[in-house]
Structure 1
Amino acid sequence: MPLSGLIDQIIHSSENVDIVELLKHLNPKIMLGIPLLDGTNPASCFPRFTIGYEATCYSYLWSEVFAADIFVSKFQDDLL
Structure 2
Amino acid sequence: MIKVIIEVDGYLNQVLLTGRKCSKKELKQKYLQAKALTTHIKDLANVFSRLHNFEQIPYDSEIQIDFVIDTDTDRIYSPSY
Higher strand share: 2
TM-score by length of structure 1 reads: 0.30
TM-score by length of structure 2 reads: 0.30
Greater relative contact order structure (CA < 8 Å, 6+ sep)? 2
Higher helix share: 1
